[in-house]
Amino acid sequence: MSLLELKGVETFYGASQALFGVSLDVKEGEVVALMGRNGMGKTTTINSILGLAKPRSGSISFAGRQVAGMRPHRIARFGLGLVPEGRRCFPNLTVLENLLAAARGSEWTLEKVVELFPRLGERRDQYANTLSGGEQQMLAIGRALMTNPSLLILDEATEGLAPVIRQDIWAAIRKLKAAGQSILVVDKTLSELLPVADRCFVLEKGVTVFEGTPDRLTPDIQDRYLGV
Ligand SMILES: Nc1ncnc2c1ncn2[C@@H]1O[C@H](COP(=O)(O)OP(=O)(O)OP(=O)(O)O)[C@@H](O)[C@H]1O
Ligand SMILES: [Mg+2]
């Protein structure tokens, strides 16, 4: 059974339709890549899953429940941990306070987050708005993990970061995968994304146009749907 399953999701912003039929699923323990060029509907798909945008039709089930149309805070409590585009943390809280404010459940602890991202330990008393972009991204991931999500969703978690920081974040994603964490990941760095992904979905203008294992993502398909 899938942990998350979307079927034929259609979502609008006002009168403007962004999703025209998105179907995808994530099984327990899988890392699933959600791909597609700019503006194709990746973030809108994530917003639809989380209840931040309301699907007009289609179904979304998470952990055995129909969640489409529910309020965002309720959906999140079923076990979704989002690292949003633009890495939002509480700017006037310290690293430690940010992490503790997110804590829910018992598996993930401060110690485990700091083990995954030692830099957060070094900066535990620093205010979030004084962190570098990469450190803020680590904090955003740490915050999502502190909620003990059964599904972690990463939306462009490595975008705009220095190469060395990106490496740290990919290494963390690989560790999470090895530990069995289910992850839905949006990222444009295919060279890092494909090796870690169990399956991929590609969106084109709000429609799922490809589903399969990374080895089936041929150069032709990459050119057609992911080329810049
Ligand atoms: N708040 C909004 N109001 C109106 N239209 C929106 C809004 N957010 C997104 N859109 C539109 O919906 C479509 C899908 O956007 P979305 O942000 O989901 O794309 P994306 O695949 O995440 O792109 P990117 O790779 O640039 O992040 C785009 O045409 C975008 O302009
Ligand atoms: Mg986006």
Measured between alpha carbons, how far is 36 from 42 in angstroms, rounded to an integer? 7
All domains in the chain, ordered by first residue: 1-79+150-228 (3.40.50.300), 83-148 (no CATH)
- In sequence order, what are the residues at sequence separation of 6 or more whose Cβ sits closer than 8 angstroms to the Cβ of residue 39? none
Residue 118 in tokens: 């030692």
- For the chain, the residue count is 228
- The helix/strand/coil state of 160 is coil
Residue 214 pLDDT greater than 90, yes or no:
yes
Looking at the chain, the whole-number percentage of residues with pLDDT higher than 90 is: 95
Convert the pLDDT of each residue in 144-183 to its tens digit.
999 999 999 999 999 999 999 999 999 999 999 999 999 9
Q: Ligand 2 centroid to 219 CA: how many Å?
A: 23
Measured between alpha carbons, how far is 210 from 1 in angstroms, rounded to an integer? 21
Sign of CA dihedral 77, 197, 118, 160: negative
User: Of 125, 119, 75, which Cα lies nearest the Cα of 98?
Assistant: 125
Q: Ligand 2 centroid to 7 CA: how many Å?
A: 20
Bridge pairing between strands 31-35 and 182-186: parallel
Residue 102 in tokens: 């997110």
Residues touching ligand 1 (Cβ under 6 Å) are 13, 16, 18, 36, 38-44
